Structure 1
């Protein structure tokens, strides 16, 4: 950090995790923690009200007004392009991890790793470098050797059914009525399926379909 103090925001929906990380970073004289957030609503409020250099955020924080996961990260980059993003995750899906790196996140850490890795990651990204958790490096290397079609095998039968019907032109509400499920259930299955396919939005989902033909794959082939 070369003696320069950085303003940092912590975001995680687990209070114990938040407290543990905060105590670690408070020991660093170069880090000034300007606030903590439990969801994207609180995170964006802090970013709109105070100068922030780095955001250290959990990947999955449901319930916020600005979403979570890939949707939240893309919105953060769009609204606050000068803020450095470091993501904490329990994800082990190589395709999704690769997507997180590709959109320009500067740091990616595995929640299962040693917490002492976090101060090192903050120091590295503050100095302008990227930091990838050692435990995630092998997963990303694996992804580089896997074809796009392998992502489909990660889907549950229900997730594939929902995505195929959506790509076929049905709305979430129409799919819910067809299966006699709630719109929320269908929306969550679509969202989880898109995360597994590393699609940040509907446009990317349609693009992937044009590449691998999702609508031509019968659910029983990967039924779980």
Structure 2
């Protein structure tokens, strides 16, 4: 496949793990058509760099440090300022709900951190040429997600397709929850403790805690703090 004629593909990398950055930098140096123009451990470094520099593709780690924006917010923040930048999301977390929300937010590809480095460059080349990159197994699972689809499955969505009628990404993701999971999370966000929810729903604390954890997993949320952060976006 011929990509961008003889022009090198410029790539920026954001990952808070020094070893991953080092390995990617060494591997990229061996690729004749890849030019790694920036490698960063913090989003503020990347954002400052992007004000004066350009990259065709950004390889973005979804889970950064505790002092960073969450992945979806960072994707939106970057694309709002640099809409032509093509993002390849890289993550060790494989929550289908989060991957779908990331595509709705405008990423062009997804890659598991378990993949070999050469797979990243294959994805970078595809994205730079204007295509999407979604591993076949992930693509199949995404089409099966029981969420409301206004534009078909995620593979047919345009970047930023949620900018008008789609509503909140997380409001859409709540359709993944079972009625009991949704009820438990609603109660929790209203300030009720697990023991109080258990008494209200006449279930054991273990059962209620299980519903809460299952629901959070489906939403791609890892902590109570993050759950409350999206309180205004959930259940619209």
Q: CA deviation at 1:164?
A: 3.5
Q: CA deviation at 1:48?
A: 1.4
Q: CA deviation at 1:31?
A: 1.6
How many residues are matched?
A: 180
Consecutive unaligned residues in structure 1, runs of 5 or more = 167-187, 195-200, 211-224
Q: CA deviation at 1:86?
A: 0.8
Q: CA deviation at 1:148?
A: 4.3
Please give the per-residue CA displacement for 1:38-65, whole angstroms capped at 9, x wherever unaligned: 1211111221131222111100112556
- 1:164 equivalent to 2:190? Answer yes
Matches within 5 A, 1:22-61: 22-61=25-64
Consecutive unaligned residues in structure 2, runs of 5 or more = 149-172, 193-222
For the Cα contact (< 8 Å) 1:94–1:142, is it kept in 2? no
SS at match of 2:83: coil
- Please report the TM-score for the alignment, with normalisation by the length of structure 2: 0.65
Q: CA deviation at 1:5?
A: 1.4
Q: CA deviation at 1:118?
A: 0.5
Task: Go from structure 1 to structure 2 and tell me whether the alpha carbon gap of 1:80 and 1:145 turns closer, same or farther (over 3 Å shift).
Answer: closer
Matches within 5 A, 1:197-208: 203-205=232-234
Q: Distance in 2 between matches of 1:73 and 1:89?
A: 13
Q: CA deviation at 1:29?
A: 1.7
Q: Distance in 1 between matches of 2:146 and 2:74?
A: 25
Matches within 5 A, 1:34-183: 34-63=37-66, 67-144=69-146, 148-151=174-177, 162-165=188-191
- 1:14 equivalent to 2:14? Answer no
Q: CA deviation at 1:151?
A: 3.3
Task: Go from structure 1 to structure 2 and tell me whether the alpha carbon gap of 1:101 and 1:25 turns closer, same or farther (over 3 Å shift).
Answer: same
RMSD: 3.2
For the Cα contact (< 8 Å) 2:109–2:123, is it kept in 1? yes
Q: Distance in 2 between matches of 1:93 and 1:54?
A: 23
Q: Distance in 2 between matches of 1:162 and 1:126?
A: 43
SS at match of 2:11: strand
